[in-house]
Structure 1
């Protein structure tokens, strides 16, 4: 008997940064986590140059980036070479992550519990991701998947574009 689970209904993915070169660094759109119980910021780095890439999740009060600042320290998971492994290794919880300089494809996940990662008491409810200046041979991509509050589910899916 199959498990009653639907990825688009229960963990809807939302692209924050489409795949692109990352010489100057980029900042994604801000996604609203008001309806999220938990969220995962998934960042892919195709490291074609030995320049490191710093990844910093940002929080803000709205999707227009009001009061933008770094998130609180959160769990981080890493696959340092996706061509040889898909086993995630826990990293030290932090507000950002910097890749090593090896020329590998990497997968980084920030595990975000909104009440711990965001300054909710002061109205912070949205999240974005920023990549630091690196090298044009390094390609980055980021998406967000989140577990919606069951009370938020109705006739239509909650959206992070609010």
Structure 2
């Protein structure tokens, strides 16, 4: 399978250091599932808190935390391992203080959003951390309704 032809890949957070970060919002109107993949190059023992929010539009309208816990996976030391370890389901995750390159994946089905309330968009956020911690993230949309050509960054 060619990932570029079957999965819509959208940048959520360009590599950034330390500050609180709000990633771009994407719409799940055209996808049934999104994996939010966060990479943390932790250069300081200040943990990084990561959360997922939902909104009613890609402008962030009515943004609030996800109400339903979702599966979270972790690679605690991506320099030496590629083994994903299931964490407790939640809407947020905080890394350990260990100085490692970490991968965190949130697995979100569109049905986990407050659909009855009109919520169909998501975004990833990080709380402020040390300037030596570099964070980036991408959205990997699957179960596409209209193929990879349909935009996820518009309502």
RMSD: 1.1
CA distance in 2, matches of 1:105, 1:6: 26
Cα distance in structure 2, aligned partners of 1:142 and 1:59: 16
Q: Is the contact made by 2:56 and 2:118 (CA closer than 8 Å) also made in structure 1?
A: yes
Q: How do 1:8-157 residues align onto structure 2 when only pairs under 5 Å count?
A: 8-22=4-18, 24-71=19-66, 72-116=68-112, 118-150=113-145, 152-153=146-147, 157=149
Q: 1:161 is matched with which residue?
A: 153
Residue ranges of structure 1 left out of the alignment (5+ in a row) = none
By percentage of residues, which structure has more strand?
2
- TM (normalized to structure 2)? 0.95
| TM-score, length basis structure 1 | 0.91
Aligned residues: 153
Preserved contact between residue 148 and residue 158 of structure 1 (Cα < 8 Å) = no
The answer as to whether partners of 1:30 and 1:65 remain within 8 angstroms in 2 is yes
Q: Distance in 2 between matches of 1:149 and 1:139?
A: 31
CA deviation profile, 1:57-80 (whole Å, cap 9, x unmatched):
111000111110111210000000
For residues 6-31 of structure 1, the C-alpha deviation after alignment (integer angstroms, 9 at most, x for no partner) is 21221121101001112x21101101
Tell me if structure 1 keeps the 8 A contact 2:6–2:142: yes
Q: How big is the shift at 1:120?
A: 1.0
Q: Which runs of 5 or more structure 2 residues have no equivalent in the other structure?
A: none
Between structure 1 and structure 2, the one with the greater Rg is 1
Runs of 4+ in 1 over 6 A off after TM superposition: none
